[in-house]
Structure 1
Amino acid sequence: MGDIRRRGAVALGITALVAPVTLALGTGTAQAATGCTSTAGPYQKRVEKFLGRPVDGRQSTADCKAIKGFQTKHGITPNIGYAGPVTWGVMDLMTKQRAVGKNPGKDGKCPVNKGRIACVNLTLQLSWIQDGRKLVYGPVPVRTGRDGYETRTGLKKIYWRHIDHVSSIYHVPMPYSQFFDGGQAFHSVGVSMWNPPGSHGCVNMTRTDAKAYWSLLRSGDDVFVYGRKPGT
């Protein structure tokens, strides 16, 4: 349970789970057969509402299947259908991202006097490209640095681009890399943008969005990173 609590706290800034280990993991033959827990989690009603399930606060087989499917899709572990803080935190972030709509710069924090600029809101895990006040692309969900590997904030510039880059530290592909601060870059990854706990500092993107950023940005273009990723 300690490991589950640490992952919940690191990923989403929640200090503790409210259920004991036997409740969180579930028991009995039903779980063994389906990989699902029959136990309702502390965020059961909110998770049910997000998934369009009947909101009764009770865990059903269908509830567990829906929650487990969501967890599997986004790389949330353990994916046993438990409505815990990590799962709800991802859903809550998605809801907040959707609420932004097509006006990501409404908080007025990304500079509008720089011309073409890529903005990254760490708090909402969103990025977009604007030209002055005009939205050019996005907003799109991104996956930024986890606790201890935070994506650094401030005004920066793209200084190096490498379309087929491979990390010399982690030895993993980083397609469409555009570096803007030390080893931190925009690049595509093959995991969900909501996969906790986050990157090692880079701004991860889907392949489609990373390709769009590659075509729209150039060396010397500004990048502005602000806010704070949940859990860091």
Structure 2
Amino acid sequence: MRRNHRTTLIANTLAVTAVIAVAAGCGPQSGKAGAGAPAAPGSPSASSSTAPSPSASGATRPSAPAAASASAADDKPGGAPAASRASATPAAKPAPKVLMANGSKGDRVKELQARLAQIGWFDDTPTGTYGAVTTAAVKGFQGRRGLPATGATDSVTWDRLLGMTSKPTAQELAGRGVNKPAAKLDARCMTGRAMCIDKTSRTLSWVVNGTVQSTMDVRFGSQYTPTREGVFKVFEKSRDHVSTIYHTAMPYAMFFSGGQAVHYSSDFAARGYNGASHGCVNVRDKAKVAALFDQVHIGDKVVVYW
């Protein structure tokens, strides 16, 4: 009787131990035991399918109901599903369409050149061929208006130009009678003696007591070396000046702000508005600037404005 009781006690203990072992199991080892295969000694039992199993990164993988709950939460107002969140990122804005560029030819290019001439950015006869001269003119127009200075005429550049110009006449398309904007004298130029320099019309007017004595075409520095704006005074004149920085000739130089001066430019005379100065006011008509040099006195005003 005592032996039977001991035997029963041992059997019950073994049964409880087996139950505990099964309850602690968490699924088969990946790549070790296949479906229906016995677990290795000491490994978790393959019979447990409800407990969470560790992922490769050590995080607990949610059971099917938990995953479904997470998806449902994502679908609630205020939170997009995971798949749609990725696609909800706004697409990059497409680049403007290029309408004309270096190498283009035709009537539209000629119209482009004539329109640029109206606002002083094209200084040659329209040819209908988009070459280096037109590329440089478009690049200057773009840079001045905060557009990407590519030199190619895209839809944004073209629309901006159309808004600033009028349809070219037959004479303008032939390079004659360009409707260049007239210089508008700044109020600061109307008293005393002043070189009145208008960046919009790209002209210099020599004004004495409100009366214009002469006017000449000028060009300015690039966006990287801009010509300063404001009211200055001529503090030095040098008839045969040579730049000590760039070692280039600056005849009839009239200095008004640091190293910036009004002077004749052979490069401007040769290339027109396809180039730029390092900040000086270039004059391309040598006879006119020579006459101006003889009239301007030290202390005369220089007004540079838009």
- TM tier, smaller: 0.5 to 0.7
Question: What is the aligned partner in structure 2 of residue 85 from structure 1?
Answer: 138
Q: How many Å apart are 1:147 and its aligned residue?
A: 0.5
Q: Aligned to 1:134, which of 197, 202, 211?
A: 211
SS in 1 for 2:98: coil
Question: What is the aligned partner in structure 2 of residue 187 from structure 1?
Answer: 263
The runs of 5 or more residues in structure 2 that have no matched partner are 1-94, 118-124, 143-164, 166-176
Q: How many Å apart are 1:120 and its aligned residue?
A: 0.4
Q: Aligned to 1:169, which of 245, 257, 280?
A: 245
Counterparts of residues 1-232 of structure 1 (less than 5 Å): 18-19=98-99, 24-26=101-103, 39-40=105-106, 43-47=109-113, 66-67=127-128, 78-79=132-133, 85=138, 95=178, 97=180, 99-100=181-182, 104-105=183-184, 107-113=185-191, 115-138=192-215, 140-192=216-268, 194-206=272-284, 207-227=286-306
CA distance in structure 2 between the partners assigned to 1:152 and 1:184 by the alignment:
8
8 Å contact from structure 2 (residues 107, 128) kept in 1: no
* Structure label with greater radius of gyration: 2
Q: How many Å apart are 1:211 and its aligned residue?
A: 0.4
> What do residues 4-27 of structure 1 show as CA deviations (whole Å, max 9, x unaligned)?
xxxxxxxxxxx97824xxx7344x
8 Å contact from structure 2 (residues 231, 301) kept in 1: yes
8 Å contact from structure 1 (residues 43, 88) kept in 2: no
Aligned length: 170
Q: How many Å apart are 1:208 and its aligned residue?
A: 1.7
Relative to the length of structure 1, the TM-score reads: 0.60
SS in 2 for 1:141: strand
Question: What is the aligned partner in structure 2 of residue 30 from structure 1?
Answer: none
Percentage of identical aligned residues: 26
Q: How many Å apart are 1:67 and its aligned residue?
A: 4.7
Letter in 2 for 1:66: T
CA distance in structure 1 between the partners assigned to 2:234 and 2:126 by the alignment:
44
Relative to the length of structure 2, the TM-score reads: 0.47
> What do residues 102-131 of structure 1 show as CA deviations (whole Å, max 9, x unaligned)?
xx34x5434312x11111011221111111
Q: How many Å apart are 1:42 and its aligned residue?
A: 5.3
CA distance in structure 2 between the partners assigned to 1:192 and 1:170 by the alignment:
16
CA distance in structure 1 between the partners assigned to 2:132 and 2:211 by the alignment:
42
The runs of 5 or more residues in structure 1 that have no matched partner are 1-14, 27-36, 52-63, 72-76, 228-232
SS in 1 for 2:197: strand
Q: How many Å apart are 1:41 and its aligned residue?
A: 7.5
Point out which structure has higher relative CO (alpha carbons under 8 A, 6+ apart): 1
8 Å contact from structure 1 (residues 43, 85) kept in 2: no
Letter in 2 for 1:136: Q
SS in 1 for 2:254: strand
